[in-house]
Amino acid sequence: MMERPPFNAAEALTAADLILSWSALQNEERVQAYRRLRREEAEDFFEGLPTADQAALLAGLTKGERRLWLRLLAPDDVADILLEVAPADQAELLSLLDEPTRREVTALLAYAEDEAGGLMSPWFARVRPEATVDQAISYLKRQARDHLETIYYGYVLDAEQRLRGVVSLRQLMIAPGDRRVSDVMKTDIVSVNEDADQEAVARRFAEHDLVAIPVVDSEGRMKGIVTADDIVDVVEEEATEDIQKLGGMQALDAPYLRTPISRMLGKRAGWLSALFVGELLTATAMGHYESEIARAVVLALFVPLIISSGGNSGSQATTLVIRAMALGEIRLADFWRVSRRELASGLALGGILGTIGFARVIAWEKLFGAYGPHYGLLALAVAISLVGVVTWGTLAGALLPFVLRALRFDPASASAPFVATLVDVSGLVIYFSVAELLLRGVLL
């Protein structure tokens, strides 16, 4: 693969060129290149950058440039940038904002980052219920000249700023101009509380196909809106976190290439060490059956086959259940339904693998004479063990997330490697117990 040529500060540059080369540039080179963009391109480019890149870019700009680009952003986007910088730098960036925006950003910083209040924008279109449709349209036009997050909806607020209804721009356009807003607004409002978790907010978006959702406090006063583009970021963040946990590690709190190796080792070493200690139990189990293995060495040949099948089936089940939980498809109350489904699935999958395993032993004996005169009993032991191990692995993988959810832990902590380690030990016990029962007095 050819290396990308070094950045040349003398070359003509467009936003499209900069996007292609952005990941390969050092921050100093990014600052130089960004300054050479035309103003219109620079605005769009800056708004489209990830928050971490916006913060890094601002750090390399002059105070005047920082003020210019910060004031381009909505308060919720500024709050996100402030969370990316050191606490000592937050006060300096806040001082660059005008007083109203500074108050809005400070209020947003009071919320947890993963709450609806931390995601919302305080810029939204407001209308009064007693206004006529013509007055509301005129007022929305004046608001649109300012920085509104979206103007698809007008939110109808009373004198105490409580949310009374919502009216779409389309509804206003087709309604008679002399009608009151209160007559055309919808009162069956889908909203979220300011302290709602971001996953719950994402589910509300998915359930109702919304462009934006209002955020209210405990007394029904409207605080802001969360828009679909914010939820896209939330879904990506939550999915990334779950995938990393499913891989058997703590979730990273920064992009891969921006995470220091020392921090990444800390995120990975703990789980890896715990899994290693768990796998030591596998050696203990093998030691317990040492005499059986000594009398029938052929049993050891199938140990990897048995335990990997159980681990794989458990990994499948835990992945399916954790994802269904994340999407709100199943809840704790579905424990028994999931148990019955996975028991049936485990038996069916175990039967399929057991049949393949049985055929494999018979075929190898016929072709190569590999397993001796009692190959039929050996094949039966492998087949029955596979049914038992796969069924147990499937049940363990499916039900462990329920146990963690009931204990108020993240179900994604039931990672595939963790389930596989658990099933490895129990799989050995199942395999050698079946073998001892069938082969006692023959090979054992």
pLDDT at 10 over 80: no
pLDDT at 8: 52
Q: Please, what is the angle between helix 39-48 and helix 27-35, to 10°? A: 140
What the chain holds in terms of domains, given with CATH numbers, is 15-113 (1.25.60.10), 126-227 (3.10.580.10), 256-439 (1.10.357.20)
Assess contact for 398 and 320: CB atoms under 8 A. Answer: yes
Which residues lie below 8 Å from residue 130, measured CB to CB, with a gap of 6+? 180, 181, 182
pLDDT at 5: 44
What element of type H or E holds 7? none
Assess contact for 162 and 220: CB atoms under 8 A. Answer: yes
Among 9-13, 128-132, 195-199, the least confident range: 9-13
User: What is the mean predicted confidence (pLDDT) over 113-139?
Assistant: 93
Give the DSSP letter of residue 162. Answer: B
User: What is the mean predicted confidence (pLDDT) over 142-157?
Assistant: 83
- Cα 34 to Cα 6, 64, 231, 363, distances in angstroms: 16, 15, 28, 67
Please, what sign has the CA dihedral across residues 13, 16, 20, 25? Answer: positive
DSSP β-bridge partners for residue 132: 180
* Residue bearing the bigger pLDDT, 130 or 442: 130
pLDDT at 6 over 60: no
CA–CA separation, 431 vs 383, rounded Å? 10
pLDDT at 352 over 60: yes
Write out pLDDT tens, residues 285-332.
888 888 888 878 889 999 999 999 999 999 999 999 998 998 888 999
What element of type H or E holds 230? helix 228-246
Q: Across the chain, what does the average pLDDT equal?
A: 89
Write out pLDDT tens, residues 83-116.
988 888 899 999 999 999 999 999 999 999 889 9
Coarse DSSP helix, strand, coil percentages of the chain, rounded to the nearest 5 percent: 65, 10, 25
DSSP β-bridge partners for residue 216: 193, 222
pTM of the entire structure? 0.71
What element of type H or E holds 111? none
